[in-house]
Amino acid sequence: MTTPVLSVSDGSRTTVSDLVGNPYLIPARILDVLANQFISETLLRNAGRNTNGLVSFHSSTPLYLDGDVEAVAEFAEIPVAAGQMGLPRLAYGIKKGLGVRVSREMRDEGNVDAVNRQITQLRNTHVRADERALRALLDDPSIPTVAATAAWDAGATAKIRRDIARAKEQIASARPAGAPADSRFGFRADTVVMPGDIEPVLEGNEEFNRVYRDGQSSENIEYTGKLPTKIAGLDPLTSYSFSSNKVLVLERGTVGFYSDTRPLEATPLYGEGGGPNGGPTESWRSDSTRKRVMGVDQPLAACWITGVRAA
């Protein structure tokens, strides 16, 4: 009977020598700890692979034809209507990567903890880079904003649920430029992204927490210390790399896309510089890289709530 070892810490007898001797263990661990960790893959839709790091797309493409359904008499010709396209745009990807090292000292001294620590730090750094890139993308000026009624940390004057409702209304009422009032895009917000340090603010807001009474008390952040499962019907997410003064409401998977030229990969462990014992630096390394294109093609499917923190 065999036991598969995919993690640095799998198996009670796994040593750094084992990790150096099997160059696929560390990259397998890197890919494992980064699976389902990128917020860009949660908020944006996967537009498939691209071959050259460039993706052309159209922004705010209307979701209706340029004509309407018409009454057709018997034997009359059925009319046709042309499709419409938004503003043409181009997005490009930049290869990003980072490596980790295992030194001969780590191997000789059996310092597995140092290896685990580096892998954890690599994961956190990749996740932070992904969040920063997404934040820069979503700072697109074509995404509308609504100002908070009052700063959310301003006590009783803060109207958190009202502010979220106004952002949802902004998204629901969005329509193409020049279109009649009844030709809305039909977007429906389903997600709210908050700063990672927002929980203490929500804990102290009576207006926010008053709906969690009686049978809903198990959702009350005052008791649980964590965000409810739903906030005003939206799935809540947090990001420590997003601005602490803004909250994003959006329809997940609609506002934009990502397309990989090179999906995340990690190389087998290899000696630096060649030669025995890890080469002249006496170290081995694994390099993790990714090349991703991201774009916002339906900016009106999102709305920023600004001024959620007092200046």
How buried is 229 (Cβ within 10 angstroms: 0-12 exposed, 13-18 middle, 19+ buried)? exposed
Residue 69 has what pLDDT? 77
C-alpha 142/C-alpha 172 separation (Å) is 16
C-alpha 185/C-alpha 200 separation (Å) is 36
pLDDT at 141 over 80: yes
Residue 157 has what pLDDT? 84
* H or E segment to which residue 304 belongs: strand 302-306
| Mean pLDDT calculated for residue range 258-275 | 92
pLDDT tens per residue across span 60-91 = 666 666 667 778 878 878 777 666 666 677 78
Mean pLDDT of the chain: 86
Reported in sequence order, the residue ranges of 104-234 that DSSP labels E, i.e. its strands, are 145-147, 191-195
SS3 258: strand
> Residue 277: which region, alpha, beta or left (left: phi > 0; alpha: psi -120 to 50)?
left
pLDDT bracket for residue 116 (50, 70, 90): very high
pLDDT at 204 over 80: no
How large a percentage of the chain has pLDDT more than 90? 56
Max mean pLDDT among 69-78, 163-172, 197-206 falls in 163-172
| Mean pLDDT calculated for residue range 228-257 | 92
Per-domain residue ranges of the chain: 16-62+86-139+259-293, 145-255+299-306
- For the chain, how big is the Rg over CA atoms in Å? 25
C-alpha 263/C-alpha 259 separation (Å) is 9
SS3 49: coil
pLDDT at 1 over 50: no
| Mean pLDDT calculated for residue range 96-123 | 93
Q: Which CATH code of 3.30.2320.10, 3.40.50.970, 3.40.980.10, 3.40.50.12160 fits the domain covering 145-255+299-306?
A: 3.30.2320.10
| Chain center to CA of 39 | 2
Per-residue DSSP letter, 173: T
What's the CATH fold of domain 16-62+86-139+259-293? Major capsid protein gp5 fold (3.30.2400)
| Mean pLDDT calculated for residue range 289-305 | 95
**Contact assessment for residue 226 and residue 218, using Cβ atoms and an 8 Å cutoff:** no
Residue 18 has what pLDDT? 85
Whole-model pTM over 0.75: yes
